[in-house]
Amino acid sequence: MYGLAGYNIKPVKSHKRGRNVVYTCEKEGTGAKILRIAFLNDRSREDFLGELEYVRYLFEHGGSVSNVISSRKGNLLEEITHNHHTFFVCLFEKAKGKMLVDNHYRYREGVPISEYYYNCGKVLGTMHQLSKGYAPVHSRYSFFDKYNAEYIDKLIPGSLPLLKEKLLGLLKSLEGLDTDHESFGMIHFDYNDGNYSIDFDTGQITVYDFDNSCFGWYMFDLASIWGNGMGWIQSEPDAGKRKRFMEDYFETVLEGYRSETRMDPSMLNKLPLLIQVNLMEGIIDAFEVMRNNGEEPECDEELSYYIKCLEDDIPYFGFFHEIYSCEEPFEYEIRNI
């Protein structure tokens, strides 16, 4: 389907939240590629086409993303049916550079880390600016299509009534947010350093893994970047120093972001709310993974921590609150459910 004969094809190590099987495809003299095979029945053909068309649109209009490669038939998406099960297959250009974790969280030698913070905002700002002119053929779902009272009631165990109540209250708060052209559009919805690579020669960031992309508030992606910054200062015992670092870090991110797109100042005031929505997404995703894996629901220290933050209305991932421990970041006593 893709002319990959002769390529050295190796599986990429999966992670707990993974929903696909992924392979690197390398051949001397050609650019490396990423093959993705989706095996869960939680997404439709329309969902995949909506994702891939968006990626192609971003790439063709100057977005720094890994382009999707058409098959020999000219399709962005291919299907294989085996034993009455459908697998959805697609191929991407491999992003230049590598992830921060693979570089042991060291940035470019001799270059201030603030360049990285700025570029995180700049690359996201470009994508959001392009989204403001995006008219999909196959449309991805919108935020409330998935995150609604019915879905939460079905997914979250009845033994967590306070969590359900808080999640529903969060949804109620979101209903009052602007969904105008400048505030709401196609977003990545999982913008973090596990989903982009950095060219350590130039600092250029290339984004991939749009598997969760949907129509949502641009501020959600910015709240994700805010959360990413915590890792740089999470071992600092002084909450005041953590707070000052996060303020400086995020201001640099916003400088990069504003260099590419306009931001409604009123939406910046919604940052704490959208951080809570990031928290909600993480909690819901954890229960989805358990369900998809056929596991009984359980809360480890990390999930218990995030649930506690929502139940007790603790803002900013609890990062400036007494619940946070720099010795055991984002962990709380395991709860039975």
- CATH code at 101-318: 3.90.1200.10
Give this prediction's pTM.
0.96
**What letters, b where the CB count within 10 A reaches 16 and e where it falls short, cover 309-320?**
bbeeebebbbbe
- CATH code at 8-93: 3.30.200.20
Which residue ranges make up each domain of the chain? 8-93, 101-318
Length of the chain equals 337
Q: Where are the alpha helices (DSSP H) in the chain?
A: 45-60, 114-131, 143-146, 149-155, 161-174, 218-229, 239-258, 265-268, 271-292, 301-311
Q: Which residue has the higher pLDDT, 255 or 19?
A: 255
Dist CA 337 CA 83 (whole Å): 36
Q: pLDDT, tens digit, for every residue of 22-38?
A: 999 999 999 999 999 99
Task: Identify the H or E element spanning 79.
Answer: strand 78-82
Q: pLDDT, tens digit, for every residue of 84-97?
A: 999 999 999 999 99
- The whole-number average pLDDT for the span 126-132 is 98
**What letters, b where the CB count within 10 A reaches 16 and e where it falls short, cover 265-278?**
eebeebbebbbbbb
Dist CA 41 CA 331 (whole Å): 32
Least confident of 232-246, 250-264, 306-320, 321-335: 321-335
